[in-house]
Structure 1
């Protein structure tokens, strides 16, 4: 019986350690001063805070537009700047049968504000994509999106 109790205690301790290590980025009241120096985050479709992500879904509802192969040259308190590829479904003849096409883009994130879900973090609230070469039909060379919060 004692061996079972010890194993259970060890398993619960390991689980608690794992949960603490994988918990979402947040700050306790004692960390408030340290969070001010943290860079803003990019909030994804699943409400996860990301810093310098390699990919990002723009069309959360259907996944028909996403950024891939992102490389960031700047990520600070005011803005983030990077480059990547915008993969866009042409939806011809309809989206389920459409093909994805890649368009090289420059990405800029800015207008950081307090994140409503985690008030101790700031999140970028605007994204601007500038197409470097070709671009999807009906889109201008540069397009700006508000980001969800």
Structure 2
């Protein structure tokens, strides 16, 4: 089975997505995992989609500092479309963040909490289970 790395290009005229095959494959393990948008389990992914429907929000360049059955902690780059003036023509914002995976259910983390590096401001999001 191949994992597909998807990229999204946003322009004022259209939203297009393209996927390329990658050597990495979904993990077959008993470890606590996080699901990608295709409902494939992964341990310590380098990228994590926050909004699967439109790819307007994701985390890239993740480095995991801790990963066990109860939670995971790491750092990365929060990449989101600000949707101003609208999502098709919106400007993207990229910021360094700390992230935590939590609330494991049946071996799958179901919540990601994103905190701007050096800040107390944080936001939690539900993940596919």
Tell me whether the two structures share a fold, i.e. TM-score over 0.5.
Answer: yes
How many residues are treated as equivalent by the alignment? 106
The aligned residue for residue 41 of structure 1 is 33
The aligned residue for residue 113 of structure 2 is 128
Structure-2-length-normalised TM-score: 0.74
C-alpha distance in 2, partners of 1:66/1:100?
11
Larger helix proportion of the pair: 1
Ranges in structure 2 where 5+ consecutive residues have no aligned partner: 1-23
1:1-149 pair list within 5 angstroms: 25=27, 38-114=30-106, 122-132=107-117, 141-149=121-129
Q: Which has the higher contact order (CA 8 A, sep 6+)?
A: 2
The alignment's C-alpha RMSD in Å is 2.1
Ranges in structure 1 where 5+ consecutive residues have no aligned partner: 1-21, 27-34, 115-121, 135-139
Structure-1-length-normalised TM-score: 0.64
Once the two structures are TM-superposed, the CA of residue 24 in structure 1 deviates from its matched residue by 5.6
C-alpha distance in 1, partners of 2:25/2:52?
23
